[in-house]
Each structure stands twice: as C-alpha cells, then as structure tokens.
Structure 1
Amino acid sequence: MQHSSETHRQYDLPDRPWLLHQTWENVLFAHWPVKKDVLEPYIPRGLQLDTYHDSAWISLLSFFVDDLHPRAMVPFPGIRAFPEVNLRTYVTRFDRPGVWFFSLDAGNALAVALARRFFRLPYYRAKVHFERANGRTRVSLTRCHRKQPPYQLDVDYKAASSVFESQKGSLTSWLTDRYCLFTTARGRLYRGDIHHRPWALQEAEAIFRTNTLASSLCGSHLTAPRLHYSQQQHVHIWPLVIDE
C-alpha cells in the first residue's frame, strides 16, 4: 500500500532496501515524438514499446551526478560526482511503465565500468565539458568508448518558467514519471527500481548545436523537442532483479 509520500508513483516501492543514492543537478529533459516502427526493432522480447496517444517518444537527459554513495556509506573519492547524458525510450512490462536505455554516456571511466558490470546498462565513456554559469548550463560531449562511434552532443539550456508539478495523465507526467528501468544480459530480462519525490519541473529553452546521439538513432528529421528542466532531484536506486 502506498504512503502519502509515494502517491505520485504508479506502483508501490520495492520491499527491500535501496542500494545507491544520487543527486541529479541541472537536469534537462528533451523529448521527441518518433514513429513506432523506428523504435520497435530496438525493444527486446518481453517488453512493449509504450506510447502516448499512439506516438512513441525518445528522451535525452543531461545532468550532473553528485553525492553518489552506497546505502549507509560516504561517497567514494573519484566517483562521487560526474556529468551524464542518457538517451532512452518508454516501455511497459505487465502494465508497469519504465524506460529502456539506448545509451548512457558519462564523464567518469570508473563509474562507467561499475555501471556496466553491476547494472548491465549500455554505459559509455565520454569526454564531457559541463559548465554552469548565469543560470545557463552548457554541455559538450564526445563519446570516446572503445569500438564506439564518436557521437557528439553540444547543447546550451536554461529554465524558462516558474516551478510546477506535472498533472497525472498529462504528457509531461507520462514522459517524466518513470520509476524503473529494464535491461537485458545473457538472454535474461532485468528490472531496476528507483524512487524520488515528484519532479519540480520548469519549462526550458535549449540550443542544440550538435546532437548525433539522437540523430544516429532516429535520423536527422527530428522535430523541435519538448523541453523541461529541473534544478535538483535526490534519487534512490535498487539492485537489479530478474523480471520474470
């Protein structure tokens, strides 16, 4: 049964302890509608591509990870803080909404290695310049992972409205209120749960100078994105479980 602090979730918290804490800062959400047949070949068996009014979506998230630490432990030197950019879409399993990651690029080689091993996610090493000044955030990224194309992102963004919470049932809620991820390894499907307070969102403005992360997946004909910003979010992450 959900408590009042969890009523923004679609389902109850896991009945086991969380593993990791992270703080996400200067979060950009950029969302693009995409035809379903473009994304369906990327979705593994056991998951269904999730749609909103029959449209699929991809989202790019840019943020700075801070205060990364395991439960009941202090942050580890050299891994507590780094920039990260995710590219994801939306899926369901047994009517549970979640996300499927195409890529996660991070500017910390140790964090990438640990995430690939313990969370079985497609993390990649990247050179990332993350600059915050005068209310704006500038992110310049080049993937430098072995045997990977040098995908790039260069984006400048800022908040452009007062803070609000999304309304249940709205597209904004559908795009941002996701509390699990799915991944695969050795033919098995895994689920990783997360929890955080409702997003304190703002409308955003962004200038994309380069974005081959998204265009390499969906081509160069992306429409203008829906944009949201959040100053900060505290996140708890659970260990992966086999989702059967």
Structure 2
Amino acid sequence: MRPFLTAEWRYLVMLNYEVDPDVLRPLVPRGTELDTWQGRTFASMVGFRFLDTRVRGLSVPFHRHFDEVNLRFYVRHRGPEGWRRGVVFVKELVPRLAIASVARVLYNEPYVALPMRHVVEMTGAEAGAPGRLEYAWKAGGRWQHLAATTRGAPRASEPGSEAEFITEHYWGYTAQRDGGCAEYRVEHPRWSVWEVDNTALDIDVEGLYGARFVPFLRGQPSSAFVADGSAVAVYPGTRLSPGEGPPPAAETPRAA
C-alpha cells in the first residue's frame, strides 16, 4: 500500500506525565484499550519539526515545513499478528489552517491552527554538545511553550524502558463521528533519545485541554527526553470492524 503522507519528524521534545486512567478512559476509541508501562498510564506533551511533507508524493507550496505540538496518550488494539501499540491525540496544534482542515476532514483528527514559532539550537548535539529546543504557540492572547535542554549524545532506548514505551508506537487511532474508530499505520525506524537537563511547560492547560488535565500537566513530568526522529510514512486509515471492543464512555471532544 502506498503511503498517504511522507515527511521527516525531527527533534521531538517529549514531556511525559503519569495520568489517572479514569481521566483518559472517556477518550479511548472503540476497539482499543489503554496501554500502560509497568502499570502506569501516561500522557505526553510533544513538540517537533515536520519537514519535507508530501501528500501522495506531492509537496504543497508553503506547507512542507512546519511545527506541531500535541498532547497524546497510549492505547493498544489486538490485530491478527498480536497487540498493535498506538497513540490517540487529545489535540494537535499546527500553524497552517489548511493542514488542520485536511486532517480533521480526512481523519477526524483534533487539529487546531494557531500561530507558532520554534527555537532549534542543536549544532554539535549529535556529538554530545548541549542543545536547546523550544516550541511555542499563541493562544488566549499570549505565547505558550514547551522546551528542553539536551545532555550528552543521543542513544538507542533500552529495551523495556519507559523511553522505548513512549517512542515505539507505530499505529494511530482516532474516534469517528459515528462512534467508530479509524486505524492507521505509521512507519519509521527506531529512534535514539537524548537525556535532558532542563524542561519547561508554560501552558493554559484548562483552555487547551480541559480542567481534567490540570492536576497532571501543571506538575513535574514523570520523565522527559528528546528523540532525534527520522523519515516517516503514514498509511491510509481503515475502520476497525464494528463491535471490536466496548464503546468509549463518552464522545471524544472535538477540537475548537
């Protein structure tokens, strides 16, 4: 099958927060269940560069390179080959209205278009020099951001580690307007990660994600790291068969 979208995802700042599973269960798409690491349930704030973006092999002028910031959590679905580990997005921020509109129409993904900017200071970071990354967006009349400073050279995540759990998900799941669920495959090589010395998250949690996330995202992250990223391929979505798993407890919120 030919990919629907190809791109490079680079310099992923990943701030990971342990979240009460009861907060996430109403958002779990039909046919999936929450995925956990050592019995703990996580949501991640992720910011990264979306580069050389092509749809069906074609680049769209002024839409090849942009930032994305998202809040995501982790689910799994039993496929023919065994468990498929994937992500669900609570909300995805991008700077272009056309990108947000296409993603919402085709995948029902909760994209929102906002002014965005970034700082990428990673010269020498592959060899161990300190690096600095910041992804910012303007909402509610002010700039908000997430940021991290890297330490040392990137290394492959250890098998069974929290970093492996966060980075090695290769499926996306999206609740549909009729209560069903779409599944799509994301293909990329295994990522290496930098350790970080400092992180920052300045965000209007309630305004962006709702009051349920306030107690978790206003605290310190359980872990944080920066993934180097790679070329990725996103394949067309398919619907899970009706009746696969219990329905979600409530409808997934629509992006404003």
Q: TM-score range by the shorter chain?
A: 0.7 to 0.9
Shift of 1:204: 2.1
AA aligned to 2:64 is R
Shift of 1:216: 4.5
- The whole-number CA distance in structure 1 between the counterparts of 2:120 and 2:166 is 25
Which residue number corresponds to residue 220 of structure 1?
Answer: 215
Aligned to 2:68, what secondary structure does the other structure show?
strand
- The whole-number CA distance in structure 2 between the counterparts of 1:232 and 1:43 is 26
Q: Would the aligned equivalents of 1:155 and 1:206 in 2 still touch at CA under 8 Å?
A: no
Change (3 A) 1:152 1:41: farther
- The whole-number CA distance in structure 2 between the counterparts of 1:195 and 1:207 is 28
Deviations 1:57-115 (A, max 9, x none): 00111011110002443x21021111110110011111321111101000111111111
Where does structure 2 lack aligned partners over 5 or more consecutive residues? Answer: 123-130, 242-256
AA aligned to 2:179 is G
Structure 1 position 123 matched with structure 2 position 111 = yes
Structure 1 position 235 matched with structure 2 position 232 = yes
Which residue number corresponds to residue 72 of structure 2?
Answer: 88
AA aligned to 1:193 is R
Q: Would the aligned equivalents of 2:146 and 2:199 in 1 still touch at CA under 8 Å?
A: yes
Where does structure 1 lack aligned partners over 5 or more consecutive residues? Answer: 1-15, 144-148
Which residue number corresponds to residue 200 of structure 1?
Answer: 192
Q: Which moved more, 1:208-217 or 1:28-37?
A: 208-217
Change (3 A) 1:84 1:151: farther
Change (3 A) 1:133 1:120: same
Match of 2:166 among 172, 175, 188: 175
Q: Would the aligned equivalents of 1:152 and 1:212 in 2 still touch at CA under 8 Å?
A: no
Identity of matched residues, %: 22
Shift of 1:151: 9.1
AA aligned to 1:53 is Q
Change (3 A) 1:207 1:52: closer
AA aligned to 1:233 is S
Aligned to 1:90, what secondary structure does the other structure show?
strand
Aligned to 2:153, what secondary structure does the other structure show?
coil
Change (3 A) 1:150 1:225: farther
TM-score by length of 2: 0.79
Structure 1 position 106 matched with structure 2 position 94 = yes
Q: Would the aligned equivalents of 2:30 and 2:180 in 1 still touch at CA under 8 Å?
A: no
Q: Would the aligned equivalents of 2:13 and 2:227 in 1 still touch at CA under 8 Å?
A: yes
Aligned to 1:44, what secondary structure does the other structure show?
coil
Deviations 1:37-59 (A, max 9, x none): 22222223322111112210001
AA aligned to 1:117 is V
Aligned to 1:116, what secondary structure does the other structure show?
helix
Q: Would the aligned equivalents of 1:66 and 1:82 in 2 still touch at CA under 8 Å?
A: yes
- The whole-number CA distance in structure 2 between the counterparts of 1:51 and 1:189 is 20
Structure with the bigger RCO (C-alpha within 8 Å, sep 6+) is: 2
Q: Which moved more, 1:202-211 or 1:121-130?
A: 202-211
AA aligned to 1:81 is H
Matches within 5 A, 1:151-170: 153-170=144-161
AA aligned to 1:177 is E
Q: Which moved more, 1:134-143 or 1:102-111?
A: 134-143
Structure 1 position 48 matched with structure 2 position 44 = no
- The whole-number CA distance in structure 1 between the counterparts of 2:69 and 2:99 is 13
Aligned to 1:202, what secondary structure does the other structure show?
strand
Count residues with an aligned counterpart: 223
Q: Would the aligned equivalents of 2:53 and 2:64 in 1 still touch at CA under 8 Å?
A: yes
Structure 1 consecutive aligned stretches of length 4 or more whose deviation exceeds 6 Å: 149-152
- The whole-number CA distance in structure 1 between the counterparts of 2:53 and 2:9 is 10
Which residue number corresponds to residue 79 of structure 1?
Answer: 63
Deviations 1:159-181 (A, max 9, x none): 21221111222221111100011
Shift of 1:119: 2.0
